[in-house]
Amino acid sequence: MKITFCCTDTKAEPWLAGLRAALPAAQVELWQPGAPPADHAVVWAPPQQFFDEQSQLKGVFNIGAGVDALLKLRLPPRATVVRLDDAGMSVQMAEYVCHAVIRHFREFDGYEADVKAGKWSYRKPRSRADFAVGVMGLGVLGERVARALQVFEFPVNGWSRSAKTIDGVRGFSGAAQFNDFLRATRVLVNLLPLTPDTRDIMRRETLSKLQPGGYVINVARGAHLVDDDLIALIDSGHLAGATLDVFRTEPLPGDHPFWRHPKISITPHTSARTLRDESIAQIAGKIMALERAEPIAGIVDPVRGY
């Protein structure tokens, strides 16, 4: 069995060493143009040339949860595309979102600004009952986030394409219940996959349905959010602010208004990083399962886009 590795912006040698250790019977090589055909590929942002040359691939393993960029390419017709289920990302995402929600709810951003100004301040405690958190996207990451938020006793709503049941989470599903979900939500957390249906889903029309004083946390993809609409709704007072980890252009251009907006906090796409050892173990297990014709989790449906 031969495995080829093609991951841009990723240091290859530790991945190659890990895959060779996890799959000692396999031949694991770094892809170069003109390389011999392989059985499976481990990829991140590969060029179209890679798939044009490796048209016989049986499995394509993406070292991340999001596959929107991968699905824009012409993929091998017989290849099974597989995304990571978790590999240590869900706990990181839960940490990030809970931190952002609590920072906003407890007004720690305001205290921080006051401290920098040399001001000793006090703010009246707010009620968690008034800060319902809505999680859009209830996959592996979204479900973990929803469960983590319950620990802090926030009311939690969840919205997904198809109905899902999570204990303690008020469930909404499908287009018919989307507006009801938004109206029931004050803090909106986006964990949706990026598809043609979800692109620009956070725009003036939808964000204006959030409860007054709403807050937006985007940890999915930058193209989910219409930047100018968010800024307009914050400046109008309908939204209180936002925490953003993903952007339409990354790195975020230096002249983008997000850098300087006082009510927008940004981080450099770091909410949940791929953990190499966990990812290698998961990928190796799935490759062996595919070779044995066994079912695996994380298979991507190209029609749905996730």
Q: Which of 83, 186, 221, 224 is catalytic?
A: 221
Around Cβ 153, how many Cβ atoms within 10 Å? Answer: 9
Give percent helix, percent strand, percent coil of the chain, each to the nearest 5.
35, 20, 45
- Is there a catalytic annotation at residue 104? no
Q: Which of 203, 248, 256, 269 is catalytic?
A: 269
Give the sheet arrangement for strand 27-30, strand by strand: 27-30, 2-7, 40-44, 59-62, 80-83
Give the sheet arrangement for strand 187-190, strand by strand: 169-173, 156-160, 133-136, 187-190, 214-218, 239-244, 264-266
List of residues 6+ apart from 43 with CB closer than 8 A: 5, 6, 7, 50, 60, 61, 62, 63, 70
CA 248, CA 76: separation in Å to the nearest integer? Answer: 28
Q: Work out whether strand 214-218 and strand 169-173 pair parallel, antiparallel, or are unpaired.
A: unpaired
- Is there a catalytic annotation at residue 99? no
CA 121, CA 228: separation in Å to the nearest integer? Answer: 32
Tell me how many degrees the CA angle 177-160-290 measures, rounded to the nearest 5: 155
Q: How far apart are the first and last CA of the chain?
A: 27
Give the Å distances, CA to CA, from 303 to 52, 57, 67.
21, 19, 12
What are the residue numbers of the active site? 221, 269
